[in-house]
Structure 1
Amino acid sequence: MVVLHTAVAIVLVIGLIIWLRVEPVISLVLGSLYLGLASGVGFVGTLTAITGGFGEIMGKVGLLIGFGVVIGSLLHATGAFGRMVQALVSAVGAKRLPYAMAGAMSTIFPSIYVDVQVVLGAPVARSAAPLLLRNGLPLLAGAIGTGIFSGYVFVVPGLAVILIAGQMNVSLGSWLIGGLCIGLLTALLTTFLFSRLLRTNYWKPETDEEASEAMLETEASDAQAPAADAGPGLLLASAPIVVPLLMIAFGAFAKLAGISNDVISFIGNANLALFVGLLGAYLMARHWIGTERTGEALTDGFKTSGEILLITGVGGSLGAIITASGMGAELGKLFSADASAPVLLSIVLAWFVAAVLHVAIGSVSVAALTAASIIGPVAAQLSTSPVIIGLAIASGSLFAVQVNSNFFWMFKGLMGLSTKGTLKTLTMVTSMASVTSLLLVLLASWLA
C-alpha cells in the first residue's frame, strides 16, 4: 500500500499544480500530508517529518542557494554574465553552446555538488538563451540538466558513482574510463535528441516559462550594466564562479586521494566557497557599478532566493515523508536478482530497480545506493561484470527527476520555468538520458 499511496501523492502534487493551478508550495504540503497520514506515519510523525525535512534540506542547500543566487544577481548587474556568454559563443558558436555546456557539466564538474552546478550555471544559461532564439531557454535548460546528472551518476568522482562503486565492491579505476565515456555520450546524445524534440510544437513559452518577478527585475537591470569595455574583464568577471568551483574541486579530489585534514575540509566546503565567490562579486560590483546599484542587485537577489528557498524546502518535506513511510524497504521486498539470469536481463533488471526507486524516493543518490544494496550481495554470482551492473544501476537512478526531488524545484526557480516547463525539460531529459545510457551500457556489455 505504501507504493500505491506514494504514487497517489506524486500524481496529486502534479495534478494540483498543472491542472488546478494551485501554488507549488501548497500542493507539496498537501501531498506530504496525504502520504504521511495514508501510509501510517501518524499525525505527529507526519508533521515532524515535514518540518524536519524542510530543515534538513535548508541545512544542506540553504546557504548554497542564497549565496549562489545573490552572486548571480551581482554578476548580472555588472554585465559579467554577458561577457561569459560572449566568450563561450566566440569559442564554440551559438549552435554548439548547449553541447559545450552539457559536455562540461558531465565531465569537468562531477566533483561539484549538483546544487552548486545549477546555482552557478542557470544564470549563464538564461543570459545565453536569447542567442538561440525561441527555444534557447528550454534547450540550454535541458543541456544543463542532462549534463549535471550524467556526470553525477557516471563520472568519477560524482557522488552516485562513489556510492554505487562502494556498495558493489567495484574499484573506481575499473569504472573510470567506461563511466566517463558513457557519461559524456549520454549528455551529448540526449542534448541532440532533445533539440530535435524542440523543433516540434513541444515547447510553449507562454505556459512553460515562468520567471519570478524578482528574476525579471534582475534581468531588466542588465540594460543598465556597464558596456563591454567599461566593466570587468573576462578573467575577473568569471572569478566569482571559477574560484568557488576550484575550491570545491580541490577538497573533493584531495578526499579522493585519501588526503584529509581540517584545512582542506575548510577550503573545500561548498558554503565557504560560494561565500568567497559572493564576496568577490560584491567587491567587484561596488567598484564597477557603485554602492547604490550594488544594493539594488543585492535586494533583487534576496527576493529571488527567498522564493526559491521556500519551495525547495517544502520539496524536501515531501522527500522526508516518503522516507518515513518506509518506501525503500517496501521496494526492496519486490525485487531480487536472479543469479541465473542472462546478461541482458540482469542489466535491464538492475536498471529497472534503480529507476523505480528513484521515481518513488526522489533522490538519485539514495536510489542508486538502495539499488546497489539490493543487487550488490549477489553481483559476484551474476554472469555480468559488476562494473556493468553498477553502470546499469547508475543509468536507472537517472530516470525522471520530478516533483518529489528538491532539485526539481531549485531547477524550476533558477531557470525561470513553470512546473509544466520543468517537467518538459528536466524530467524529460533525465528520462531520455536514462534510456539512452541503458542502451550504451548494453553496448558496453557486448563489447566487454
Structure 2
Amino acid sequence: MDLQLLLALVVGIATIVVLVLRTRLDAFAALLIAALVTGSIAGSAPTDTITSITTGFGTTLGSIGIVIGLGVAVGKILEVSGGADALARAFLKAFGKGREPWAMGSTGALVSIPVFCDSGYVIMNPLARSIARVKQGGYVTLALALGCGMTLTHHLVPPTPGPLGVAGILGADLGGLILVGLAFALLLLPVVVAYAKWMGPQLESEVNEEVRRAVYGTVTVGAGSAGGTATATASGDAGDAGDAGPTDEEGRPERKPLGAGVASLPLLVPLLLIVLNTAAAAIDRNQQGVLDPNADYTPSTWAATLAFIGNPVVALLIGLVLAVYVLLPRWTPRAKVNNWLAEAAASAGLILLITGAGGALGQVLRDSGVGDALAEAIASTGMPGILVPFLIATLVRVAQGSGTVAMITAASVSAPLVVGLGLSPLAAALACCAGSMVFSYFNDSYFWVVTRFTGLDGIAALKGWSGITTAAWAGSIPLVLLAGWVL
C-alpha cells in the first residue's frame, strides 16, 4: 500500500482521537478537521477535499437527516404520552424478567432487516430508555444490545442494500444468502448480548449527565432532554410504569394509560410500510425479470405507490401524525405539542451535525483512494481462500467507516478471484458481509447515532460500541471459515 495513503489514514484517525479526548473541541469540529488533514496528506487538492467534505456531509444527511428528525419527534411523543412505557411493559412481560437485553437485541435484529440501522435505532431507542427507566438501571446494556442486534442483520441479511449488492456482484444465490445470513445473525446474537451484559454495567457510570437525566432523572413533561426524550421518573416494577399517564396543569390524570397495541402504532405502521415497499420492489422486479438488484427498472403502478408510502420519510411522517393524533389526548393544547416537537428538533441538531461530519470524513477517505489501496494490498498478498474477501472488507471498513461501502468494495475486488480461490459465490458473499462489521468508530455515522443516543463519549464510546461490533466480527470468523469449507 502507498505509504502516503497509509500515513493519511493514521494521522486522520489520530487527529480525531486527540481532538475529542484532549481539547475543548467537540466531535463535529474534530471530524471536519480530520477530514481536512486526511485529504491534505493523501495528496488531494484543497478544493477537491472541500468538495468531498460537502458532498459526504450532504449525501449522509440527505439519506438519513430527515429520518433522524422525524424519528426523534416520534420518540418524543411516545415518551410524553406514556406510549413508550406501555411498550416497555409489554416487552418485559413477553421476554420475562432478566431477559431485557435479549428483547432489545432480537427486536433490533428484526427491525433492521428492512430498515437502515440509523433509522431503526432512532425509532426503537425510546423502548430501551423506558425499560431502563422502569428498572432504574441497565440502559447502556440495552442500548448496546439494540444497536448491535441491528448491525447483525443490516450487514448479513438481504434485502438490506449492502448484501443485495454483494449478491449481485458475486452472482450469489439471493435466497441462499438470506437463509445463511439469518443463520449467521441468530448464531451471533448471543455474542452481542453477552458483550452488552458484560460491558454495559462497566459503562453505566460513564453516561453523560444530560442523557442520564433523560433516562432516569425526574424531568417535567415537556422539558428539554437529549435524544428527544423527556418524562417523569418511573420507579418500581414494570407493571407500575407510566400508570399515571399524561397529566394536566394541576397534575391530574387526563386519561387512562395507553395500551401496548395503540402505543405501537407510530412504530409498527412506518415499519410495515417500509417492509411492504421492500417486498413489493422484490416481487415487481421478479415479475418483470429484472433480477439484478443494481439494474434500473420501471416499477409497476402498484409497486410505485407502495414505494412512495413506504419511503422512510413518508412512512415516518405518517408515524408522526399517528403519534400526535392517536397517542395524545385530543384536548392537548396545540402550543404544548409544538413545544414538544421543537424540543425534539433541538435535541436532534447535534446528532445531525455529527452524523453528517462522519459522512464527510468517510467521503474524503473514499475519494483520496485509501479504501481502494487497502483492498488492492490485501488482494495481492495471495492469502488463501475465504479470508481474502473477509479481510478486504475488514480493512476497507476501518479505513472509511461505511459497512455497505466496505462489503461492496470487497465484493468488487474479490469477484475475479473467487474461482481461483476455490470459493463458492455464496461463501464469498458471506465473507464480504461479515468482514464489514468490524470496529465501528469515528468515521461511521452509525457510531455517532448510537453513542450520542446512549450518552457515551471518548474511551467509553470505543469500549461500548466499537467493542461490541468487533466482538460480533470476531464471532463471525469461525462461521466464515465453516462457510468456506461447507458451501
Where does structure 1 differ by over 6 angstroms across 4 or more consecutive aligned residues? none
| Alignment partner of 1:114 is 2:124 | no
Q: Is the 8 A contact 2:56 2:359 kept in 1?
A: yes
Query: For structure 1, which segment, 169-178 or 210-219, has the greater mean C-alpha deviation from structure 2 after superposition?
Result: 210-219
Q: CA offset at residue 271 of structure 1?
A: 0.5
Q: 1:447/1:329 Cα in 2 relative to 1: closer, same or farther (>3 Å)?
A: closer
Picking from 304, 307, 322, the partner of 1:265 is 307
Matches within 5 A, 1:252-401: 252-259=278-285, 260-261=299-300, 262-284=304-326, 285=328, 287=330, 289-336=332-379, 345-401=384-440
Instruction: Report the structure, 1 or 2, having the larger helix content.
Output: 1
Q: Hey, what's the Cα distance between the residues in 1 that align with 2:421 and 2:21?
A: 44
Q: Is the 8 A contact 2:363 2:400 kept in 1?
A: no
The two structures have a TM-score, normalised by structure 2, of: 0.84
1:167 corresponds to 2:209: no
Paired position in structure 1 for 2:147:
145
Paired AA for residue 68 in structure 1: G
Structure 2 residue 181 is the aligned partner of structure 1 residue 155: no
Distance 1:417 1:247, change over 3 A: same
Displacement of 1:348 in angstroms is 2.3
8 A contact 2:101–2:197 mirrored in 1: no
Once residues 234 and 228 of structure 1 are traced to their aligned partners in structure 2, the CA distance between those partners, rounded to angstroms, is: 18
Contact 2:273–2:306 under 8 Å retained in 1? no
CA contact (8 A) 1:107 1:184 kept: no
1:189 paired to 2:187: no
How has the CA–CA distance of structure 1 residues 150 and 229 changed in structure 2, closer, same or farther, with 3 Å as cutoff? same
Quote the Cα distance in structure 2 between the aligned partners of 1:15 and 1:131.
Answer: 38
Q: CA deviation at 1:41?
A: 1.7
Number of aligned pairs? 441
Offset at 1:218?
A: 5.7
Shift of residue 257, structure 1, vs aligned partner:
2.0
Out of 38-47 and 280-289, give the one that drifted further. 280-289
**Alpha-carbon distance in structure 2 between the residues aligned to 1:2 and 1:295:** 49
Q: What whole-Å deviation, never above 9, does each CA across 1:178-197 have from its counterpart, x for those lacking one?
A: 11111121123221233234
Q: What is the CA distance between 1:34 and its match in structure 2?
A: 0.7
* RMSD of aligned residue pairs (Cα, Å): 2.4
What letter matches 2:367 in structure 1? A
Secondary structure of the corresponding residue to residue 111 of structure 1: coil
Gaps of 5+ in 1: none
Once the two structures are superposed, residues 40-74 of structure 1 have per-residue CA deviations (whole angstroms, 9 ceiling, x without a partner) of 22222222222222211121111101111011111
CA distance in structure 2 between the aligned counterparts of 1:3 and 1:96, rounded to whole angstroms: 44
For 1:171 and 1:424, the matched residues in 2 are separated by 37
Q: What one-letter code is carried by the residue in structure 1 that aligns with 2:474?
A: V
Q: In the alignment, residue 129 of structure 1 is paired with which amino acid?
A: A
The residue type equivalent to 1:10 in the other structure is I
Greater relative contact order: 1 or 2 (C-alpha under 8 angstroms, separation 6 or more)? 1
Give the structure-1-normalised TM-score: 0.91
**Which ranges of structure 2 fall in alignment gaps of 5 or more residues?**
215-223, 234-243, 247-252, 286-298
Which amino acid in 2 is paired with 1:248? I
